[in-house]
Amino acid sequence: MSKAQHPTDEDLAARAQAGDDDAFRALFDRHAPALGRQIHRRLSPMLRRKVDEADILQMAYLGAHRGLDGFESRGEGSFRAWLDQIVEHKILYVIRQYVQVAKRGLDREETGSFHQRAPAAPARQPSPSGVAAAGELREQIEAGLAALPAHYREVIRLVQQEGLTLAEAGERMDRSTAATAKLYGRALAKLAEHVGLTEHDA
């Protein structure tokens, strides 16, 4: 088979960066099955029940397309490595959203706001299993936070509890915004592992 019939990743990437959307779609589709397996492998069974894995793949597609100008080919395998990083970023985004939603739900429970609302109907009351699950998740989050290094706990506290931006949290921690963003990402990923939102890498 000739090179024209089966272009390399580098050939397709160059054409895509020149504005050929068909080349980009062909290139992404070439790696989509492996990326889908990567997403499935990284999510825990609990998150697989909560998140549509195809949505994460679509987010990665859009992110790669928007960021295509920033791709720099460094030889064979570099495009796949670039896509892997984008997929990991999107997985982390989903984890962050899930952790924040879970944390807000637990905060409402702890302040009693849920119980202070007048029930509109008996169906709105939490079931015994729901209460148990919320308590279990709270314990998992608390245990996960306690197991993190101090600087991981600190950046999560500043961003999620105090509501600071990454730039503001960086000022508190005497770090650049970029360094704080990386620290926050690593902290959330590690917390997600402790809580059971992602699988540990083999």
DSSP characters over 43-105: B-HHHHHHS-HHHHHHHHHHHHHHTGGG----STTHHHHHHHHHHHHHHHHHHHHHHHHHHHH
- How many structural domains comprise the chain? 2
Residue 181 scores a pLDDT above 60: yes
Residues 65 and 12 in one domain: yes
Highest mean pLDDT among 1-10, 94-103, 151-160, 171-180: 171-180
Mean pLDDT of 42-47: 77
Last-in-domain residue among 71, 87, 103: 87
Same domain? For 11 and 83 the reply is: yes
Lookup: tokens for 192: 């997600």
Share of the chain above pLDDT 70, in %: 73
Residue 123: inside a domain: no
Q: Is a pLDDT exceeding 70 seen at residue 173?
A: yes
The CATH number of the domain where 61 resides is what?
Answer: 1.10.1740.10
**Residues constituting the chain:** 202
Per-residue confidence (pLDDT) for residue 1, from 0 to 100: 43
Q: Is 188 helix (H, G, I), strand (E, B) or coil?
A: helix
Residues 93, 59: contact at Cβ < 8 Å? Answer: yes
Report the C-alpha gap between 90 and 55 in whole angstroms. 10
Per-residue pLDDT, 81: 92
Q: Which residue, among 199, 192, 201, 92, has the nearest Cα to 144 in the 3D structure?
A: 192
Examine residue 28 and state whether it is found in any structural domain, yes or no.
yes
Residue 20: pLDDT over 60: yes
Question: Which of 87, 113, 139 is the last residue in one of the domains?
Answer: 87
Across the chain, what does the average pLDDT equal?
Answer: 77
Q: Tell me, what DSSP letter sits at residue 190?
A: H
Backbone angles phi and psi of 40, in degrees to 5: -60, -40
Is the confidence at residue 134, as pLDDT, over 50? no
163 three-state secondary structure: coil
Write the CATH number for 171: 1.10.10.10
- Residues contacting residue 69 through CB under 8 Å, at least 6 positions apart: 17
194: pLDDT strictly greater than 90: no
Tokens of 55: 């949505």
100 is a domain residue: no
The mean-pLDDT minimum among 31-35, 52-56, 139-143, 151-155 falls in: 139-143
Which of the listed residues 87, 119, 146 is the one where a domain comes to its end? 87
Residue 99 domain-assigned (yes or no): no
pLDDT-wise least confident of 1-15, 128-142, 150-164? 128-142
Give percent of the chain above pLDDT 90: 31
Task: Say what the pTM is.
Answer: 0.57
Query: Is residue 190 situated within a structural domain?
Result: yes
Q: What is the mean pLDDT of residues 125-151?
A: 63
SS3 127: coil
- CA-CA distance, 184 to 159, in Å (whole number)? 8
* CB neighbourhood size of 170 (10 A): 21
DSSP state of 3: T
pLDDT at position 26, please?
95
- Choice between 48 and 105, residue whose per-residue pLDDT is larger: 48
Confidence of residue 110 (pLDDT cuts 50, 70, 90): very low
Q: Identify the domain containing residue 64 by its residue range.
A: 7-87
Could you tell me the two tokens for 53? Answer: 């894995």
Say which residues have a Cβ less than 8 Å from residue 202's Cβ, sequence separation at least 6: none
Residue 92 lies in a domain: no
Residue 34 within any structural domain of the chain: yes
The answer to whether residue 67 sits within a structural domain is yes
Q: Is the pLDDT score of 119 beyond 60?
A: no
